[in-house]
Structure 1
Amino acid sequence: MDDHPAYRGGLRMMLADVPGVRLVGEAESGVQAVALAAELGPDVVVMDLRMPDLDGIEATRRIVASGSPSAVIVLTMFEDDDSVFAAMRAGARGYLLKGADQDEIVRAIGAAAAGEAIFGPEIAARVISHFAAGSGSTATAFPALTAREREVLELVATGKGNAAIAHELVISLKTVRNHVSNILTKLQVSDRSAAIVKARRAGLGDTGP
């Protein structure tokens, strides 16, 4: 599932002659990926993170939450901690970087189909380092949020209003309102107060003693 036709085409060609691997569908948006996973029930879904309509994290979360037997492998260019751990929290069984060779991708698909979790070497090293350092969990809270939405939620959780957030982040008031609206939807809450409660329970918005 990738919004770039050229990359999907390359992946299709790469997998065409691999024994035991059959491509059953392609999607160019997150919404389409969720729908196709439900319709086709593939053993493995290869998911990009940056897609229109619905990002790959939320698409992964919806596929997993639906009870689908499909194992999701993320194949993306993003290797930052937020992306990696958000994908894991959303239920991804693997995480590879674009540029991985054919053997690595095929091995990951086979492992995911067998119920195993697999990560590219760069990502595995990052995961090990993260847990070895005892890193906090707030960065991985609310995996459906984008980095900017999480930043806005952090400020909302401290009690700041939209105007103050716009000033601090140097963005327009309309942009802040859009972010807050998306946050409420993704957190599945009806108002700002409920979002603050949920964020503070997750450790966001440290307001001091």
Structure 2
Amino acid sequence: MSRKRVKCAPIRVAIVDDHRLVVDGLVAHLHSRRHGIHVAIGVTSWAALLANTEFPVDVVALDLNLDDNISIGAKVRALSAAGSRTIVMSRHAESSSVQSAIRAGALAFVPKTEPADELVRAILSAAAGQRYANGFLTGALSNDGRTLEPGLGRQELRAIMLYASGRSIREVAGDMGTTEETVKSYIKRARRKYRDVGLDLGTKILLRRHGVRVGWLAPE
């Protein structure tokens, strides 16, 4: 008597990110690969995830900063209670936030600067109930809650601190006694170094938030 082969059910996944292009890009990538992954939900908010009729799913890939005043720890715990495992995604790697997510039960941290296949590996690991310990997660967990150190030079640090305070490029150049082009170069290099350790300071809003967080600026 022959035995029928039992096919494994696909891993049901939700993608939650506040940028629609990111969601659509990840959904398209995951659907184009044969990984046994089915994206059941692709939404841009926490509320939309919970309201979706396909929820709960096996694994949720969740943006670390959805700007909805709900802590990442609370979200991860809620997903765990619903039976979903969590992967955290972000353009920056503030160690304290990553640690909060992991302590709450998240199984992976995947920077958005990485190829989409890094997310695939994290999903497969999370679906198996295993932590995906890539270099970014290991670095964040070993950093005692501090933001990863970008190794700025003295002039780079001074330029980006002045710029974060709201001064224009021209004003920063005047304060530092140098040219506007030199200041632009300092700021560009500083942002690149922060980006290399997973922290996006590409806009003045993000730069100011970081300045308040690390004590360069007083909170408003």
| Bin of the TM-score, shorter chain as denominator length | 0.5 to 0.7
Segments ≥4 residues shifted beyond 6 Å? none
**TM-score under structure 2 length normalisation:** 0.54
Q: TM-score, normalised by structure 1?
A: 0.56
State how 1:1-209 maps to structure 2 within 5 Å. Answer: 1-19=16-34, 20-36=36-52, 39-55=54-70, 57=72, 58-64=74-80, 67-130=81-144, 169-171=218-220
2:109 alignment partner, SS class: strand
Describe the SS at the equivalent of 2:66: coil
**Residues 69, 32 of structure 1: CA spacing in aligned structure 2 closer, same or farther, 3 A cutoff?**
same
The verdict on how the C-alpha distance between 1:56 and 1:129 changes in structure 2, with shifts beyond 3 A counting, is closer
In the alignment, structure 2 segments of 5+ residues that lack a partner are 1-15, 146-208
Give unpaired runs (5+ residues) of structure 1. 132-147, 152-167, 172-209
Tell me what 1:187 maps to: none
Residue deviations 1:11-65, cap 9 Å, x none? 11110122201110122112222344x852211000001214354603223222x
Aligned-residue Cα RMSD (Å) equals 2.8
Query: Which structure would you say has the larger Rg?
Result: 2
Question: Cα distance, 1:93 vs. partner?
Answer: 1.2
Q: Identity of counterpart residues, as a percentage?
A: 30
Tell me, what secondary structure is at the counterpart of 1:40? Answer: coil
Say how many residue pairs are matched: 135
Amino acid across the alignment from 1:121: G
SS in 1 for 2:39: coil
CA displacement at 1:79 relative to structure 2: 0.5
- Give me the whole-angstrom Cα distance separating, in 2, the residues matched to 1:125 and 1:72: 19
